[in-house]
């Protein structure tokens, strides 16, 4: 009888500990989530300020141009070395003003 009782007590202790741990991890998760939410709100506020100042257009413009250049780079990589050498010779031939046309010609 005693052994069974002890086992039951132990199991109860383990369950209690597990429950406490689960609650604790839930609380920490909620804390993390709350800090993240606060960060999002803060970011939204700053973005709103930027929007009102019209900096947003600048940001978007620079981002899109950056994306475009990245796309160019990716395309060049896909085209391979032959196209790259072709492109460099085209750049040397046309000067830098015609580099986009040169890439378009190679693509």
Low-confidence ranges of the chain (pLDDT < 50): none
DSSP SS3 for 95:
coil
Provide the pLDDT for residue 23. 78
Provide the pLDDT for residue 22. 79
| H helix runs in 1-107, sequence order | 2-53, 55-79, 81-94, 99-106
Provide the pLDDT for residue 47. 72
Provide the pLDDT for residue 81. 63
Provide the pLDDT for residue 82. 65
């Amino acid at each position: 009888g005693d052994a069974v009782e002890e086992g039951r007590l132990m199991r109860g202790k383990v369950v209690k500990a597990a429950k406490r741990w689960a609650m604790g991890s839930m609380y920490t998760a909620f804390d993390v989530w709350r800090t993240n939410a606060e960060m999002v709100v803060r970011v939204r506020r700053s973005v709103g300020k930027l929007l009102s100042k019209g900096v947003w257009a600048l940001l978007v413009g620079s981002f899109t141009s950056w994306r475009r250049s990245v796309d160019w780079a990716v395309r060049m990589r896909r085209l391979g070395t032959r196209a790259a050498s072709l492109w460099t010779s085209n750049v040397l031939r046309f000067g830098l003003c015609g580099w986009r046309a040169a890439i378009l010609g190679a693509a």
